[in-house]
Amino acid sequence: MRLATKRSLRVYLGWIVFGAGIGGTFGAALGASIVEPRWLGAALGLLSGALDAAAIVAVADGVRRFLPRTRPGRALFRAPLAIVFAVHLLVISGVALCFVAGQFGPRLTALIVGGSNGQKLIEQLNAKIPVGVLVAVVLMVAMFFVLLDMLARLVGERNFRDLALARYRDARFEERFFLFVDVVGSTPLAERVGAAAMHRFLSRVFTISSDPIDDHAGAIYQYVGDEMVITWTLPEGRPDARPLACFFAIAQAVRVAAGDFEREFGSVPRLRAALHAGEVATGEVGGSRRSIVYHGDVLNTASRLEQATRDLQRTFLASEAALSRIDNKDGYAIEDLGMQQLRGRVAPVRVYAVELGANVF
């Protein structure tokens, strides 16, 4: 199973448990207020609310999470953000209303509990809670979570989580890998096909790269012109040489789509990359627009290393600092190019060329 799929399943199950907790808490409070004795109402409400919420989250979040991997889902996510928001809200609200209106939780609770207690819960819910109130609550909750989801997609799920939890409100030092991936020859292509076509070309490359990046636990830091910067913390990137594997997976994904690029743009993307690692200061910056940024010489060195791919006529360069932090480099041909004087740096850096093949490091 792909790493990205495993991670999605873990998050998916986490949301189901979270939803069950929220639904159970609400249900317990509601049940205690309408069913006598109160302890019984709370117990029945807890079970009913947890079952309802878990079922709603399982279906609605399952659609939201796995729909983008299908062809209709990919088409949907190319639509304007307002349309994506409306479709999400419609789907999630529809699923939630079906479960709530059908009294899935109370009915299942009645089956589990049996006897008069379960039936009493259904009867008192029907008598004391207007359907309109339930509909309004469901719509408001659905809109809230869809808005959160849209925000997370705009800034990246990890960035959104770190910003929401204020993880980097105060800068902290951490070791990270940075992989710079550059699309070769974009300037002459832009002159030939025009700015609009060039935008579609780069957007297609970046979109194709998303799955390989997710598969190897990477996070996109930023897009800069025709370049993307991918990062890993040391624990995320060390296993299975993930930064190395990530670049070659991106290159393979682009090769698979070569025919489509050739037909539409008359050109197939070529990639160059550079990998460096070291300590950076990670923290939030900004006022009206906040972001998490990295400060340190690591990024400058990685950028200079990417520029050196042209001078050394290599597709993928990695520093000694990066390779020494990576496990399981078997399967890669790693050639020592010696100490290299990179532009803008005083001290030379030991550089290696990386290709797929037998490891000679």
222 and 76 inside one domain = no
CATH of the domain at 265: 3.30.70.1230
Kindly state the percentage of the chain with pLDDT values over 70.
73
The string of pLDDT tens digits covering residues 295-334 is 989 999 999 999 999 889 999 999 999 999 998 888 899 9
Residue 320, pLDDT score = 94
| Domain final residue pick, 115, 137, 155 | 155
Q: What is the domain range of residue 87?
A: 3-155
At residue 335, does pLDDT exceed 50?
yes
Q: Which of 22, 21, 26 is nearest to 45 (CA)?
A: 26
Question: Is 169 a member of any domain?
Answer: yes
Query: Do you know the residue count of the chain?
Result: 361
If one counts the domains in the chain, the total is 2
Question: Is 143 a member of any domain?
Answer: yes
Kindly state the percentage of the chain with pLDDT values over 90.
29
Residue 31, pLDDT score = 65
Residue 229, pLDDT score = 96
Other C-beta atoms lying within 10 Å of the C-beta of residue 335: 13
99 and 232 inside one domain = no
Tokens of 84: 């994506």
Residue 357, pLDDT score = 72
For residue 158, name the pLDDT band (cuts at 50, 70, 90): confident
Question: Is 361 a member of any domain?
Answer: no
At residue 360, does pLDDT exceed 50?
no
For residue 336, name the pLDDT band (cuts at 50, 70, 90): very high
139 and 165 inside one domain = no
- Torsion of Cα atoms, 339 then 240 then 300 then 312, to 10°: 40
Helix boundaries (H) for the chain = 3-34, 38-66, 71-76, 81-101, 104-113, 115-128, 131-155, 157-164, 186-193, 195-215, 234-237, 242-256, 258-265, 297-312, 320-323
Most confident of 71-75, 77-81, 140-144, 229-233: 229-233
Peptide bond into 37 cis (omega under 30): yes
Residue 359, pLDDT score = 46
Burial class for 107, CB neighbours closer than 10 Å (0-12, 13-18, 19+): middle
- Determine the average pLDDT of the residues in 170-187: 90
301 and 348 inside one domain = yes
Average pLDDT, the chain: 80
pTM above 0.95, yes or no: no
The string of pLDDT tens digits covering residues 78-115 is 677 677 777 777 777 777 777 776 767 767 776 776 65
At residue 35, does pLDDT exceed 70?
no
142 and 247 inside one domain = no
165 and 140 inside one domain = no
Per the CB < 8 A criterion, the answer to whether 185 and 270 are in contact is: yes
Residue 94, pLDDT score = 76
202 and 320 inside one domain = yes
